[in-house]
Structure 1
Amino acid sequence: MRLVLLGPPGAGKGTQATRIVDRFSIPQLSTGDMLREAVAEGTEQGLRVKHIMDRGELVPDDVVVSVVAGRIDHSDAANGFILDGFPRTVVQAEALDQELAARGIKLDAVLELEVDEDALLDRIRGRAEEAASRGEPVRPDDNPEVFETRLHVYREQTAPVTEYYRSKGLLNIVDGLQPIVVVTEQLAAALAALPSLQIRSEIQ
């Protein structure tokens, strides 16, 4: 099973990805982990990434795609994977399609955790206020101003990606603000409904 998991910060991607990984025994691939792994292994892509990051520059699309392509060739991804945090742009999505096609494989589904941004921001503000009331430092991820900026960047980058996958009939949207168990059940139902997959409709 080859999946892409989309969703803004705070939507619960990590929690749901872990449940999918446990159920289907496929690796969760994040761009950050893949870049660090490529550097640690000293591969050609890793050396290129290291030089770029050492200069304090953003890793270009073609380099990220190259690292992702190298990672999905690992034996643990032979039966599938779930990509978390990639693709972030339509250019990356198109490049991923090309890399998969070159290997004779394709994505089975794209899962998106959709959230009401006002409700999500209210949740973050509440957590920040609770921390402050207890005299605890506010986690960087719970800084409302920083979080709002991250949401804006995500929305600008990913809205076109969502439409790209919608046009291909791959997109499955679930409300990410529901209780964790409900989100898991709805994601499982979406996967169970895929004609290309013979799976049970419950992620355990």
Structure 2
Amino acid sequence: MNIILFGPPGAGKGTQAKKLQNEYNIPHLSTGDIFRAAIKNETPLGVKVKSILDSGELVPDQTVVDLVADELHKEKYQYGYILDGFPRTVVQAKAFDAFLDKNDDNLDAFISLSVPENELIKRILSRGEGRTDDTEEKIRTRLNVYRKETEPVIKHYKKQDKVQEIDGSGTIDEIFERIKAALS
């Protein structure tokens, strides 16, 4: 099963992806985790990504697409995966569609988590990841970038009849039950 878990920063994609990974025994691929590891290890990509993220912007499409495509060629993803944080733009979505076509694969579910903005800000400020852009002003910038550049991805997948919108409010387990119901 190939799943995209979608939503704004703070929607709980990473938390839900880990629960899905355990429930369905398929690997979770988070572009954020890949970027954070690169930043922590101060790789050339990490240094580049850190400066982009510190300004509140998104990493360039081609960099992200190449990273995800390289990762998905690993054997552990041959029976499915949960993508979290990708695709973030329509360009990335179209590149991912082409990747699926080229590899004779398909997307089984696109789960979109909806959470009110004030709740997102509270969640991000309380999770304490220590990101230099975890201030209310920078979070609002990230949410504006999300609305402008990332929300159009939903329209792209709605045209393919793949989108299932899930209320991302409530407890972690309540949200998880909604996602499982959508996947069944």
The answer to whether TM tops 0.5 is: yes
1:92 has 2:86 as partner: no
1:170 is aligned, of 162, 178, 182, to 162
Q: What's the TM-score once normalised by structure 1's chain length?
A: 0.73
Q: 1:125 to 1:173 in 2, by over 3 A?
A: closer
Gaps in structure 1 of 5+ consecutive residues? 39-46, 132-137, 193-204
- Once residues 16 and 168 of structure 1 are traced to their aligned partners in structure 2, the CA distance between those partners, rounded to angstroms, is 23
Q: Secondary structure at the match of 2:83?
A: strand
Q: Does the CA contact (< 8 Å) of 1:5 and 1:83 recur in 2?
A: yes
Q: What's the TM-score once normalised by structure 2's chain length?
A: 0.80
Q: What percent of counterpart residues are identical?
A: 43
Q: 1:80 to 1:149 in 2, by over 3 A?
A: same
Q: Does the CA contact (< 8 Å) of 2:89 and 2:150 recur in 1?
A: yes
Q: Does the CA contact (< 8 Å) of 2:12 and 2:168 recur in 1?
A: yes
Question: How far has the Cα of 1:4 moved from its partner?
Answer: 0.7
The match for 2:112 is: 112
Q: Secondary structure at the match of 2:86?
A: coil
Q: 1:37 to 1:126 in 2, by over 3 A?
A: closer
Q: Secondary structure at the match of 1:178?
A: coil
Gaps in structure 2 of 5+ consecutive residues? 53-57
Question: How far has the Cα of 1:37 moved from its partner?
Answer: 7.7
The match for 1:154 is: 146
Question: How far has the Cα of 1:183 moved from its partner?
Answer: 0.6
Question: How far has the Cα of 1:53 moved from its partner?
Answer: 2.7
| Alpha-carbon RMSD | 3.3
Question: How far has the Cα of 1:191 moved from its partner?
Answer: 0.3
Aligned residues: 175
Q: Secondary structure at the match of 1:93?
A: helix
From the CA coordinates, give the structure whose radius of gyration is larger. 1
- Once residues 91 and 125 of structure 1 are traced to their aligned partners in structure 2, the CA distance between those partners, rounded to angstroms, is 27
- Aligned structure 1 segments of 4 or more residues deviating by more than 3 angstroms: 32-38, 49-52, 56-60, 118-121, 123-128, 138-142
The match for 1:101 is: 101
Q: 1:190 to 1:91 in 2, by over 3 A?
A: same
Q: Secondary structure at the match of 2:106?
A: coil
The match for 2:136 is: 144
- AA in 2 matched with 1:145: E
- Once residues 136 and 59 of structure 2 are traced to their aligned partners in structure 1, the CA distance between those partners, rounded to angstroms, is 27
Q: 1:16 to 1:127 in 2, by over 3 A?
A: closer
Q: Does the CA contact (< 8 Å) of 2:36 and 2:46 recur in 1?
A: no
- Once residues 48 and 132 of structure 2 are traced to their aligned partners in structure 1, the CA distance between those partners, rounded to angstroms, is 22
Q: 1:143 to 1:53 in 2, by over 3 A?
A: closer
Q: Does the CA contact (< 8 Å) of 1:26 and 1:81 recur in 2?
A: yes
The match for 2:19 is: 19
Higher relative contact order (CA 8 A, sep 6+): 2
1:22-78 CA-to-partner distances (Å, cap 9, x unmatched) read: 11111111224446889xxxxxxxx9x749939x67753223212211211111101
The match for 1:187 is: 179
Q: Secondary structure at the match of 2:151?
A: helix
- Once residues 150 and 4 of structure 1 are traced to their aligned partners in structure 2, the CA distance between those partners, rounded to angstroms, is 20
